[in-house]
Structure 1
């Protein structure tokens, strides 16, 4: 008889990697939206924002798992997801702590995040696949918490950015639970995708990424490139394409310089291993 852990091993690992990657990139996205506040943040402050994203992702996964995992297995599935996230986080942070260090603090931290996730979000009763006032209230309250952690309480723009980062991961989590391999999700791309698809009324998971922007490192070289969806490019007039090209070249330059600055710093060495830089 197979256990839930072995039966869903692939999905558990994929979900853990997805949740950690998007949480880390979301922190970077929030700092980019609040440069003045970002300069004042300490490591523990960034860690608190990271955990805030992790909390809501545990809740979103719990809600989505109810649609794809048998009821009798769901509780064990979520317990195993907590273990998978803990194991993945240990692996990511190992270079910073050392292989022989006591990593029990990570276990307690993830366990605490799960407990706080339940306390904060289980009171919101709604179906994750449908739009509702309660669902919007939960995401709004989450966004306000992130803005407050950034030292910008009441900043609607930051709250909205945090909400977009969190809500854009829903299709990817759903795909993993269905046994599919989700397309790579990053916070900046997620915000673009969610923003472009905000007025669409189609079913969840039908968003189209119109603009992509990515930085990668190879040895001591950093490459930053952007791209457009072929259909989107075709729909633009020559003047619009010229303006967009000019804008995205500027964005790519800023992103590339920032990525290079953090990618080769000692402070971000362990995060860069997981793609968080």
Structure 2
């Protein structure tokens, strides 16, 4: 990829997108542990790509507010190249010189093409809540649930939507030339998913000192009642616009309801009687 005025932003976005995709796959597997055990590496890679597809779409929408219209096609093409290069870098520790960049390029190119086919039809502003926006995220969440093998699972679709939506402030910050992606608290940890035809999963990186809990969810039990609360890191809340806070509040209220119900079913089961005092959802 040659030098462009947007090279630094494209590299930062590529790192962020891979980090979000990898972390999101982990979150999905934790929300459906039994199904996660049945996943093959190709299935996990497909799940990873679903998050990359929606990330390309979200970045395209947000970039419209920060990149001149005449530069947008070139910017998105450059981002596609940056993601390809970054993914090759991530996979190299496991595969060495055996990583086929042309195969990665074809895979990412196919993901971008499918992203356009799936999501460009929905017309909405990323900063506003709208029927079209909700419909797109519903389609995305449905595809994630299907890729995980639990079609229509409401907990998975909601969690997938939350993961994708939570990246919007970080994407915006990069395009504004502000904070780098690591400030979002997302560690760059590639998923264990491997590319089709690749036999070994990439080894995750384990950076230290750069992980921050931005959102916490706590469930407590009092008698026969379960209370589930959530909160934001104060600095993270300050960085959000009013519209982003409203959107995140709506999503987290849904997540807290799902987690609270799940925690209640576990907390009041015979096997977990000893956990009735308090615990994390």
- State the TM-score, normalizing by the size of structure 1: 0.69
- Alignment partner of 1:86 is 2:84: yes
Give the aligned partner of residue 139 of structure 1: 137
CA deviations over 1:218-237 (Å, ceiling 9, x no partner): xxxxxxxxxxxxxxxxxxxx
Mapping of 1:39-78 within 5 angstroms?
A: 39-78=37-76
In 2, the alpha carbon distance for the partners of 1:208 and 1:47 equals 27
Q: CA deviation at 1:181?
A: 1.1
Q: CA deviation at 1:99?
A: 1.6
Counterpart pick for 2:244 among 176, 190, 204: 204
CA deviations over 1:75-123 (Å, ceiling 9, x no partner): 1000000000000000001122222543311010000000000000000
Give the aligned partner of residue 168 of structure 1: 166
- Alignment partner of 1:247 is 2:279: yes
Is the 1:56–1:117 Cα contact (8 Å) retained in structure 2? yes
CA deviations over 1:227-267 (Å, ceiling 9, x no partner): xxxxxxxxxxxxxxxx9x9635xx8xxxxxxxxxxxxxxxx
In 1, the alpha carbon distance for the partners of 2:241 and 2:173 equals 19
Gaps of 5+ in 2: 188-211, 218-229, 233-239, 250-274
Is the 1:64–1:174 Cα contact (8 Å) retained in structure 2? yes
CA deviations over 1:3-41 (Å, ceiling 9, x no partner): 995211111111000000010010000000000100100
Structure 1 outlier segments of 4+, above 4 Å:
187-193, 205-209
Mapping of 1:91-170 within 5 angstroms?
A: 91-170=89-168
CA deviations over 1:199-223 (Å, ceiling 9, x no partner): x9923379999xxxxxxxxxxxxxx
Is the 1:165–1:190 Cα contact (8 Å) retained in structure 2? no
Q: CA deviation at 1:191?
A: 6.8
In 1, the alpha carbon distance for the partners of 2:10 and 2:128 equals 25
In 1, the alpha carbon distance for the partners of 2:141 and 2:75 equals 27
Give the aligned partner of residue 218 of structure 1: none
Counterpart pick for 1:179 among 171, 177, 180: 177
Aligned length: 210
Q: Secondary structure at the match of 1:40?
A: coil
Gaps of 5+ in 1: 210-242, 252-277
- Closer, same or farther in 2 for the Cα pair 1:89/1:152, shift >3 Å? same
Q: CA deviation at 1:151?
A: 0.8
In 2, the alpha carbon distance for the partners of 1:156 and 1:35 equals 15
Is the 2:53–2:115 Cα contact (8 Å) retained in structure 1? yes
Is the 1:59–1:122 Cα contact (8 Å) retained in structure 2? yes
